[in-house]
Structure 1
């Protein structure tokens, strides 16, 4: 399984970048996790849009869905040019009015993201996170290897069993430790490390990063709790598990 960060920022993209998003590849299947601002442009550095097989939307905040509309227009253009039109599957929480907007003619089609299901080569489990709107953390498993994406969340102990023994934990770290308890719905680097340690994850990658401060401090905070491999997500790097 290959995990490729497409974007790393929370809230909005910095110049020439995109918000937190990941491309997951296995056996020729290409799955995009979240499609916020700048993601569609960044994605094309790694695969052509027509090779995309499915998309998962963790929640409906703009930094996770802003490029869904452009993606739908891209599919419209491609299907007009292609001899065989392909409908792109978009999986998301159906308990939101935004769910209906994910279906666009015969170019994209919305499917409910369930607590447990199969998408391509992946078995996928979800759980609700601690966020101001409904948001789903994801656990993907293929060939006995697993990766967990926390999506956006504040600290919650119920994530520990969900992340248990994951080969790779991709955790949000939108806060520095000094902001713990002051801003809800997000974790600090230290809390991401605490989660990785309690879950005995094999590796920790930090994403959904803040736009201020020294990002390297997030890694130091995480390492104060978690003694294994910790790094900031690096756009375009291929993490193989």
Structure 2
């Protein structure tokens, strides 16, 4: 599997960049995970919108879905230009009916529901879900292919249930919206120490910090996570590519 960071900012994108979005590729299959503000613009440095095979959404906050409507328009315009290859499946939960109902669009995009207790086959990927601790319904996900695994926490405070769910994942893509000793739990987010703790408890092969804050010195997040986690810690950056 190859993971490409399209956007890594929490809340809103930094100038010239994007909020949450990741491209996961394996055996020629292209899966977009979340589709926040600015994601479609930067995605096109890697693949065209019509080349996507599926989209997977964690929840409906704008920094994770703001570009979904823009993606719909891209598919529509490319359809009129004769370049759209068909209906794009988008996998999402239905616990926010209004958000879920915005997904299906003409014959170009179709919503498919997932639930916490389901296991999905999306192309070469097997995807399982875990409920996050966030102000709105949100799900973390474990994505596996050919014996390799990615655990994406999405937006969440630390949860003990994440530990068995993410055990021995090759890559932990972990939200990190707060620094060290700050109180992030009431906001439904994690600190750098939470991320390091989760990586250590799950025995993750590698920790990537993402959903980054717009304040402070970001390198401090890595330093703090390393006080708990003994493995490699990376700070998510636009266009970063990681082989899993």
> When the two structures are superposed, what TM-score results if normalisation uses the length of structure 1?
0.97
State yes or no: 1:140 paired with 2:140: no
Gaps of 5+ in 2: none
Q: CA deviation at 1:42?
A: 0.7
Instruction: Judge conservation of contact 2:151–2:172 (CA < 8 Å) in 1.
Output: yes
Which residue number corresponds to residue 159 of structure 1? 162
| Residue number in structure 2 paired with 1:213 | 216
Match of 1:105 in 2: 106
- Is the contact made by 2:50 and 2:84 (CA closer than 8 Å) also made in structure 1? no
- C-alpha distance in structure 1 between counterparts of 2:140 and 2:106, whole Å: 28
Indicate conservation of the 8 Å contact 2:50/2:83, yes or no: no
Query: Structure 1 residues 103, 180: closer, same or farther in 2, change over 3 A?
Result: same
CA distance in 2, matches of 1:180, 1:68: 31
Greater displacement, 201-210 / 229-238 = 229-238
Aligned to 2:129: 126
Report the Cα offset of residue 113 of structure 1.
Answer: 2.0
SS at match of 2:32: strand
Identify the range of structure 1 (78-87 vs 117-126) with the bigger mean alpha-carbon deviation.
78-87
What is the Cα deviation at residue 20 of structure 1?
1.8
Are 1:192 and 2:159 matched, yes or no?
no
- Compute the displacement of 1:86 (Å): 0.9
Q: Give runs of aligned pairs for residues 173-188 of structure 1, distance below 5 A.
A: 173-180=176-183, 183-188=186-191
Tell me the residue number matched to 1:51.
51
- Cα distance change, pair 237–83 in 1 and its aligned pair in 2 (3 A): closer
List 4+ stretches of structure 1 deviating above 6 A. none
Q: Deviations over 1:121-168 (max 9, x none)?
A: 000000100101110101000000000100000011110011100000
Of residues 92-101 and 174-183 in structure 1, the stretch that sits farther from structure 2 once superposed is 174-183
What's the C-alpha RMSD, in Å, of the aligned pairs? 1.2
Q: TM-score, normalised by structure 2?
A: 0.96
Encode CA deviations 1:25-66: one digit per residue, 9 max, x unaligned: 000000000001000001001111111110011001010010
Structure 1: 5+ residue stretches without partners:
none
- CA shift, 1:180, in A, is 2.1
Give the number of aligned pairs. Answer: 241
Query: In 2 relative to 1, CA 182–53 (structure 1 residues): closer, same or farther, beyond 3 Å?
Result: closer
Name the CA distance, whole Å, in 2 between partners of 1:178 and 1:198.
19
> Retained in 1: the 8 A contact 2:50–2:85?
no
